[in-house]
Chains A and B, each alone.
Chain A
Amino acid sequence: MIAIVDLGIGNFASVKKALDGNVTVNPDVVKGADKIVLPGVGNFGEVAKKLKPLRETILRKIEAGTPFLGICLGMHLLFPSSSEGGGEGLGVLAGDVSGLPREASPHIGWNQVFPAREDPLLSDLEPGSFFYFVHSYYPNPEDESVVTGKTEYETAGGIKSFPATVRRENVFGVQFHPEKSSKKGLKILENFKQL
C-alpha cells in the first residue's frame, strides 16, 4: 500500500489515481505503508506545522528503508528549513530551501529535466523530457551528489539551474508535479511504484 500524506489544501486525486494509493493523515496508515508519498501544495511553514504529528513516524519509516517520494513542497520538506517560512522540515537531506530570484519567480510551466546522476525514477525517460513546475522556492542540498536531475532557468545574470530531482538511497524528491506532467510524469510515478 502506498500512503499519500495529505497536508495541504490541495486535492491529490490525480496522485491517488496514478499510484492507486491511500490519501491519509493517519499515522497508523503511514506506519503500515510500503511506500510513502508527500505531495505538497502550500507554504513551507504551514505545512511543516501540519507535518509535526507524523514527523517521527515518517522519519522511522525512512530509516527503515521505505521508499519515500516528496513532490514539490514535499521535496522541500526533506530539508531542515526553508526561507519560505519558519518550521521544521524532515531534515533527511542536509541543506536548505531558497527563493528563486525575483525575475524567475514564480517558475510556472513546462520545463526540461536533464539527468545528472543515475536515478531509477528517471528510467526510460529521455534526457530533456518536459515536466510541469509551479514553485517559487528550490532546494540547495549540501551534498551535490544527491542531485540526480537539473532544470535550467533564466535570471538577470544568465542561465542557472536548480535541482529538479534528488535522491539519497530510498529517499526521492521531485520539484515538478509528475501528476500534472501527462505521460512523462505518469512514467515517474510508475517508476516509483515499481521500486
Chain B
Amino acid sequence: MEMLAKRIVAALDIKKGRVVKGIQFKNLRDAGDPVELAKEYESAGIDELVFLDITASQENRNILLDLVKRVSREVFIPFTVGGGIKTVEGVRGLARNGADKVFMNTAAVENPDLVRKSADVLGRANLVVAIDGKKADGGWRVHTHGGTKPRSVSVVDWARRVEELGAGEILLTSMETDGTRTGFDLELTSAVADAVNIPVIASGGAGEPQHFEQAFRAGASAGLAASIFHYGDYSVAEVKNFLLERGTNVRREQGNY
C-alpha cells in the first residue's frame, strides 16, 4: 500500500468573498460564507480545500486577502488559493495572509518565469499550477482564461515544463468531463501522471465514489470535487469509506483499521 494517503479535495468558487455555487449542507448558518463552509468540510473529513477566486479586480483582491486571513484562523487543514494571480507580489500576498499553497493557471502560461519565481518564494511544494485541457490532435491542448482560449502547447508538454520550472503539484482539469458528474478524464489523468513526478490532482467530473478510485488508479494523488459534496449527493465519509473498502489508503480518524 502506498504510504501517503490519497487526498479528497473540495473546491469552492469564490466571488467577492462569497461562495458562488449553491450549497445544500445542513447546519450552516450562512451557506454563502466560505469560512463556515470550509469549517463544515473540515469536520466532514475533507483532506484539503481549494478556493478559486473568479473575480480579479483590485477591490476584490482585498476582499480575497481578508477571506484568506479568516480561513487561516478558523480552518486547520491545508488550503490552496488561486484565480487571477499575475505577479510574485500577488503570490506573496496570499501566502502572507495564510494561504498554504497558491495556484496559477493563465499567468503561468503567459509568463512561465512567474512559476519559477513563485516556487522560489513559496517553496516548490507549495506552488500548484492548474492546467485546463481539452482534446485536440490526438492529444490534449492547454486552454487558458477560464477555458476560453486554446493555446498551442499540449497538456503533457506543459505539465513537464511546469515541473521543470518548479511547480510542486498539478491541478489538472478536463474540460470534457468538467461539470458532467460522469467521472474524471482517466485518459488525460494518466497521460499527465505518467509524464511527471509531482502529484497530480484530478479535477472535473466526479459524481460517484468510484470515480475517485478510478482517478487514483490512473495515477492521480488527489481527486478534486465540488458538486458531489456541495449538493449532498455523497458525504466525504461515504466516499472515504467506499475507498477504504476497496483498499485505497485515505486519511481516517482512527490510525489503524
B144 CB-CB contact with A under 8 Å: no
Which of A9, A136, A151, A153 has most B Cβ within 10 Å?
A: A9
A182 CB-CB contact with B under 8 Å: yes
* Size bracket of the A interface: 35 or more
Chief secondary structure at chain B's binding surface: loop
* Binding stretch for chain B, among A60-68, A74-82, A91-99, A109-117: A109-117
* Size bracket of the B interface: 35 or more
Near A by CB (< 8 A), chain B positions 181-222 give: 197-199, 221-222
The reply to whether A130 and B123 contact each other, CB–CB distance below 8 Å, is: no
The reply to whether A108 and B125 contact each other, CB–CB distance below 8 Å, is: yes
The contact of B95 among A10, A18, A106, A181, by CB within 8 Å, is A10
The reply to whether B255 and A128 contact each other, CB–CB distance below 8 Å, is: yes
Contacts of A183 in B (CB 8 A): 76, 253
The reply to whether B98 and A102 contact each other, CB–CB distance below 8 Å, is: no
The reply to whether A182 and B169 contact each other, CB–CB distance below 8 Å, is: no
- When C-beta atoms are compared, the residue in chain A nearest to B256 turns out to be A128
Chain A 149-161: CB-based contact to B (< 8 A → 1; otherwise 0): 0011110000100
Known: A128-B256, A154-B2, A159-B3. A106 touches B97 (CB 8 A): no
The reply to whether A182 and B42 contact each other, CB–CB distance below 8 Å, is: yes
B77 CB-CB contact with A under 8 Å: yes
The reply to whether B199 and A14 contact each other, CB–CB distance below 8 Å, is: no
The reply to whether B95 and A9 contact each other, CB–CB distance below 8 Å, is: yes
Q: How far is the CA of A183 from the CA of B3 in the complex (A)?
A: 20
Near A by CB (< 8 A), chain B positions 160-185 give: 168-169
Which of B76, B251, B253 has most A Cβ within 10 Å?
A: B76
* Binding stretch for chain A, among B11-19, B66-74, B106-114, B130-138: B66-74
The reply to whether A130 and B77 contact each other, CB–CB distance below 8 Å, is: no
The reply to whether A126 and B197 contact each other, CB–CB distance below 8 Å, is: no
Near A by CB (< 8 A), chain B positions 15-70 give: 42, 47, 69
B148 CB-CB contact with A under 8 Å: no
The reply to whether A14 and B73 contact each other, CB–CB distance below 8 Å, is: yes
The reply to whether A108 and B256 contact each other, CB–CB distance below 8 Å, is: no
Known: A11-B98, A129-B255, A130-B252. A106 touches B124 (CB 8 A): yes
The contact of A126 among B5, B124, B168, B255, by CB within 8 Å, is B255
B96 CB-CB contact with A under 8 Å: yes
The contact of A109 among B4, B74, B254, by CB within 8 Å, is B4
Q: How far is the CA of A136 from the CA of B124 in the complex (A)?
A: 9
The reply to whether B125 and A111 contact each other, CB–CB distance below 8 Å, is: no
Near B by CB (< 8 A), chain A positions 165-186 give: 177, 179-183, 185-186
Contacts of B221 in A (CB 8 A): 109
The reply to whether B255 and A110 contact each other, CB–CB distance below 8 Å, is: no
29 contacts between A and B (CB under 8 A): A9-B95, A9-B122, A10-B95, A10-B98, A11-B72, A11-B95, A13-B69, A13-B98, A14-B72, A18-B76, A102-B197, A106-B124, A106-B125, A108-B168, A108-B169, A109-B222, A110-B251, A112-B3, A112-B255, A126-B254, A129-B255, A132-B78, A134-B125, A134-B126, A153-B3, A159-B3, A179-B76, A180-B77, A185-B76
Residues of chain B whose beta carbon lies under 8 Å from any beta carbon of chain A: 2-5, 7, 42, 47, 69, 72-78, 92, 95-98, 100, 121-126, 168-169, 197-199, 221-222, 251-256
Closest 8 CB pairs of A and B: A128-B255, A126-B255, A106-B125, A11-B98, A13-B72, A110-B251, A110-B5, A130-B251
